[in-house]
Amino acid sequence: MKNRIFTLLLAAACTLSLRADEGMWPLVLLQKIQDPMQAKGLKLTAEQIYSINNSSLKDGVVRLMSKQGRMFCTGEIISSKSLFLTNHHCGYGAVQELSTPADNILTNGFWAKSMTEERPANFNIGLLRKIEDVTAKVLEGININDEEGPRTKALGDKQKLVLAGLKEALGDAKNNYVVEISSFYNGNQYLAMYYEVYRDIRLVGVPPESVGKFGGETDNWRWPRHTCDFSMFRIYANEANSPADYNVANKPYAPKHHFPISLKGIEKGDFSMIMGYPGRTTRYTYSEGIKYLGGKERPMRVQVRRDIMDIYEEYMKADKNIRLMYSDKLASIGNYWNKFNGEAHDLSKPGLYEKRKAVELEFEKWVKANGKSDVYGEVTSLYDEAYLKLNQYGLYSVYLQDGISNSQPMTFAMNLIGMPEMLNDKKTAAIAKGTANSMAGGLDEMFKEFYAPIEKRVLASVLRHLYEDLDHAYLPAYLNELVAKNKRDYTKIADMLWKKSIFTDKARMSEFLKKPSASKLAKDPIYMITNGYVQKMSVDLKPIYDDINAKMGRAHRLFQAGMLEMNADKALPPDANGTMRLTYGTILDYNPFDGAHYNYFTTAKGIVDKYKPRDFEFDAPTELIDMLRNKQYGQYADPKDGELHVCFLSDNDITGGNSGSPVLNGNGELIGTAFDGNWEAISSDFMFMPDVQRTISVDVRFTLFIVDKLGKAQNIIDELTLVK
């Protein structure tokens, strides 16, 4: 069975040129798409883009990672001293952490005029060093149709074993590496990614928030755009150019590659490619999944998030200090609120469901006609059974993610789930007390972005959604009792919880953590609700979720393998999965709807036209507005029309995680930084839409204009390799 799958993958890879514009391509497949890329205008070879043994473009692309290892954005190295560029919204959290009311660099911007002024940022970056195909190792002794439960366990055990071996083979360097084994084609292929992780990252420059977020949520996912969505950081290393913890003695990392920057401009039809770390796409989602997401799951996420955002914005607009405190939270919730809102609209429209259904019917016919029922015959029934249960029980996990996890007191309570049992057990009591002591040391950070009036109202909103939207049989008994007793007055319930719970007051929480009590925690009302909800999911609903996941996982794997076999003469790009990908296309305009046309670039004139002094979303520094009105563009004006180009469009295929990715011309020179997709293709994670799907990028010349003219950071400009 394994050999047959390898043959299918090879057959698919050999035909990639058939649909080369669609897809986020793994770097190991670049040799297969080199010809169509060069036909569109690429001047480089696949080896110059991705090479293990030699310097290549991939060495200039960075993967932004939290200190805990979670990937969240992309960036690109733009100087020999490891200066790197990413989006403003990618650096937002780090900049906010460095800001105070007295030194609000989030609002005012920041430019280090020397390396000694650069400030430590609280995240890591990973540099991809190599990719290794480990499919044979992972699937050794495991067949595609093995019984699901034992197969899942065997697969998990094998991945751990293989991963341990890969790390051990790194020797002394293993402490500086993160190695991840990623699944491609829904478990039909496995590639190991080796990331060298640098831990000393420092903020170099960021424009004022009014520049980096110009347009706010009103313009989010929309074209035309006029935001300068960028921030700049630097990677530091020890004397050996290796990763090291922050130390003033560290030196700028010497990169294997940095991107030269083109000031020549772009034109419609020019080749463009993007390298980065797209998060997740699900372009093989079953038709019933489209119906579930568009009709139930996405609309509920939208409503829960919108209610929380409304509370945030009410207070943020009234108080600039609250705005600073909650700005990162609002941005985090709001970005995907907008995306989910668009997906709820698009996925519920006629078209996509019918197209998926047609593909599935063709697949079923092919299975029967080719005698493949013994391998793929159960795909349809597996999907139908899984989605039937997901429609009944799927929202419980949604409300844990989008509701409870967005209430800070409930999140605090989640951190202590299981502690009463541990405290009552002599074997684990010391561990529990150690956990409490550790949490006590982090209370200042936990309550740094905690404003009681906001959090009390958010708590009431979350409780209302839980009770009004879900089956009460799977809610905590205590919550059901509270709602009945208080006649669905959620404000009153929140007031009561606020007065009694340790999780709503820093002093009470500190007192508890110094001397943790099992009985006190178990009786805490917010703990009772949060713990009760988690217990319902992890105990009562666990068999249901296990069954859903088992059926869904098996159906995905079989359907993908079958589609590869059925379409052996066509290219089937693998879904994005957080690994480095390349997408290529052209600079291109589009027609969003009947009678309308969108140009492929915007200019500074649009900023002046949208500018509203003291507006929450469309304010801008008066110095910037004056320069733009007087057209003081310097060397950053376009050589053909004399205007300052701000943002541009390309038909590159990207998704979340690509934020901050380098947009490159055919010579591998930087022309912009990707930061968004467009509203008309908001559902592109589910289907490629070549007629309207566009990537929105900041023109690098506008970025440099802001650095130079507004930031007056000539020292940064002097570092760069500019191509005129």
Residues with catalytic annotation? Answer: 89, 229, 659
The pair of structure tokens assigned to 275 is 């390298």
- Burial of residue 693, with CB atoms counted within 10 A of its CB: 0-12 exposed, 13-18 middle, 19 or more buried: buried
Of 676, 645, 669, 678, residue with least CA distance to 720: 669
Read off φ and ψ for residue 86, nearest 5 degrees. Answer: -145, -170
Cβ proximity of 338 and 221 under 8 Å: yes
3-state secondary structure 70-128: CEEEEEEECECCCEEEECHHHHHHHHHHHCCCCCCHHHHCEECCCHHHCEEECCEEEEE
Peptide bond into 224 cis (omega under 30): yes
Please give the single-letter amino acid code of residue 456.
K
Tokens of 145: 């149709």
Inter-residue contact 480 to 470 (CB < 8 Å): no
Specify the long-range contacts of residues 164-172, CB closer than 8 Å, at least 24 apart: 166/132, 166/134, 166/192, 166/194, 170/194
Q: Alpha-carbon distance 547 to 237, whole Å?
A: 48
| Rounded Cα distance, 402 and 576, in Å | 23
3-state secondary structure of 129: strand
- How many other CB atoms sit within 10 Å of the CB of residue 107? 15
In this structure, how many other beta carbons lie within 10 angstroms of the beta carbon of residue 359? 16
Distance from CA of residue 665 to its chain's centroid? 25
Please report which helix (H) or strand (E) contains residue 35, including its range.
helix 30-40
Token pair belonging to 225? 């755009």
The C-alpha atoms of residue 448 and residue 352 are separated, in whole angstroms, by 44
Structure tokens at 4: 């047959």
Q: Say if residue 369 is exposed, middle or buried (CB neighbours under 10 Å; 0-12, 13-18, 19+).
A: exposed
- Residue 334 to residues 225, 241, 383, 630: CA-CA distances in angstroms? 17, 39, 32, 35
Cα distance between residue 202 and residue 122, in whole Å: 8
What residues contact residue 350 under an 8 Å CB cut-off, 6+ apart?
none
Angle at 700 between CA 699 and CA 703, to 5 degrees: 100
In DSSP terms, 10 is beta-bridged to none
Phi, psi for residue 316 in degrees, rounded to 5: -65, -35
Residue 64, helix vs strand vs coil: strand
CB 244 within 8 A of CB 199: yes
Q: 358 near 366, Cβ under 8 Å? A: no
Question: How far apart, in whole angstroms, are the C-alpha atoms of residue 497 and residue 675?
Answer: 41
**DSSP calls for 448-482:** TT--HHHHHHHHHHHHHHHHHHS-GGGS-HHHHHH
